Structure 1
Amino acid sequence: MRTIAFTLPEPTPLMNTLMRSHFRKRAKLKRSLAAQIIAALGPDRPAEPFERAHVTIRRFSCGMPDYDGAYGGVKDVLDVMTTPAAREDGTTRNKFGIGLIRDDSPKHIRLTVEPLKCKRAEQRTEIEIVEVTA
């Protein structure tokens, strides 16, 4: 059973922030997020994506978000962790994906998001991906 754990230096944005951002700004955020995850993993990045996994995201911030904001805010993180796939029309699905998990659908992942309160200087996002074999 494979496990990947890494920490991002800031909390994930909340759903309202993502919904109100321009699509180009959001694409830039996804590229930056992908680069941060690749840098955090270093040589521990798996060669093959997890087919099924339990993904736990702990969002440490100085304020406590509501659950819909916390869960909606991890959409870009999940999109970046998925595997890119070609569509029939020639476009790419999840084009910013780095291939840690096969897909972010309930068929492939079980998601847990934990919003936790901390001091402003300790804000971060901890992500743990555990492969599910059965």
Structure 2
Amino acid sequence: MRKHYRVRSENKRKTSVQIAALIGGRPPEPFEKARVTVTRFSIGVPDHDNLVGSVKDLCDCMTTPSLMANGKVRNKFGIGLIRDDSPVHCELVVLGVKCRRAEQRTEVVIEEIVG
């Protein structure tokens, strides 16, 4: 969050490209309501507020871009997996798991909530 806005934008663009490559392209329709579970495996488990805050840019990459009234695009790097990251459309679960250095990774599971 403390990076220059251009560096953050470039990181979001790269993350969006990586996600799209992993899932085989952009989905035809986003989930209207979804549970997004992000599990961070690391050698140390951060405080809960830092853990949740660290997934903001990742969530922005999963949302659907939309046109604002002033003609600008909101979430221009979003690939359209979920409609929005607001609580109305997204139930966010963020977990921290302690592991060895060689096992560090981040896992993201997106499940559609029907009904």
Scaled by the length of structure 2, what TM-score is found?
0.95
- Work out the percentage of aligned pairs sharing the same amino acid: 56
Correspondent of 1:55 among 36, 46, 53? 36
Report the Cα offset of residue 46 of structure 1.
2.8
- Name the counterpart of 2:49: 68
Separation of aligned partners in 2, 1:67 and 1:119? 20
- Name the counterpart of 1:35: 17
2:74 is aligned with what amino acid?
R
Which runs of at least 4 in structure 1 moved beyond 2 Å after TM superposition?
none
User: Counterparts in 2 of 1:4-23, with a 5 A limit?
Assistant: 18=1, 20-23=2-5
Separation of aligned partners in 1, 2:20 and 2:100? 26
- Name the counterpart of 1:93: 74
Report the Cα offset of residue 24 of structure 1.
0.7
Tell me if 1:120 matches 2:101: yes
The aligned length equals: 115
Report the Cα offset of residue 40 of structure 1.
1.3
Scaled by the length of structure 1, what TM-score is found?
0.82
The superposition leaves residues 46-87 of structure 1 with CA deviations (integer Å, 9 ceiling, x where unpaired) of 311000011100011111111000100000010000000001
Separation of aligned partners in 2, 1:126 and 1:98? 18
- Name the counterpart of 1:103: 84
Separation of aligned partners in 2, 1:80 and 1:32? 10
Correspondent of 2:6 among 18, 24, 28? 24
SS in 2 for 1:47: coil
